[in-house]
Amino acid sequence: MQIIPAIDLIGGKCVRLSQGDYSSKKEYHDDPLEMAKRFEGVGIQRLHLVDLDGAKAKKIVNAEVLERICAGTSLQVDFGGGIQADEEIEKAFSLGAKQVTGGSIAVKNPALFEAWIANYGSEKIILGADAKNKKIAVGGWEETTSVDLIPFIKDYVAKGISYVICTDVAKDGLLQGASVDLYKEILQEIPGVKLIASGGVSSVADLEGLEKIGVYGTIVGKAYYEGRVTLEELAAFV
């Protein structure tokens, strides 16, 4: 199982939100590059970088941070937040992102998202499938759609998607455990998908539970920043 630390950006600084609520913002570090180097230093290879300013602005805002991390580390960065147009995805890749995550765009403009899958290939495009009560949530999770989670993922896997990041919005940032049953159901329904679990991880035991059911990777954010898991414990999974 891949351990994928998350760095969420507001104003160029490392922050975390709870359940996507911007008013719950907590700052953890003012230099994202230094934070990224800590992860790299223990052998972690991937990074989930989210431009929360970009998600609101619907365009990349923290471009400089993306470029600094990609140039200053060997981490494979998957980048999301505000990528809603061809010029934005081209910009993300030109700044060094190895993969781009599309969430709202996959719901709001499926034709464009499908074109990205065709143009860039399944190794470069990650489907962001965020859900509340198994319904897809978009727009920084402020809007819950009527779209069912598992059929939504299944449809995009049929269209060429390999990687899927699934966040259970009800769990995110609360340190109350991951949605193991949900991920188990997805893996049973869609065998072969590279499922990346996100949200709720609070301990090494949570990580072990996710590894056991066979997720491809797990995103770790608040659990690390709040000291619930250490770098050394994360490194043990590498």
Domains of the chain: 2-235 (3.20.20.70)
Residue 140: pLDDT over 90: no
Q: Which of 8, 51, 53, 172 is catalytic?
A: 8
Q: Which of 51, 53, 78, 130 is catalytic?
A: 130
| 78 catalytic per annotation | no
Number of CB atoms found within 10 A of residue 23's CB: 6
Instruction: Dump pLDDT digits (tens) for 93-111.
Output: 999 999 999 988 999 999 9
Instruction: Assign 11 a pLDDT band (cuts: 50, 70, 90).
Output: very high
Cα dihedral across residues 142, 195, 199, 25: positive or negative: negative
Instruction: Assign 79 a pLDDT band (cuts: 50, 70, 90).
Output: very high
Percent with pLDDT over 90 in the chain: 78
pLDDT at residue 141, as a whole number: 58
pLDDT averaged over the chain? 93
| 8 catalytic per annotation | yes
Instruction: Assign 20 a pLDDT band (cuts: 50, 70, 90).
Output: low
Give long-range contacts, CB 8 A cutoff, 24+ apart: 57-62. 57/82, 58/82, 58/84, 59/84, 59/85, 59/88, 60/88, 60/91, 60/92, 62/9, 62/12
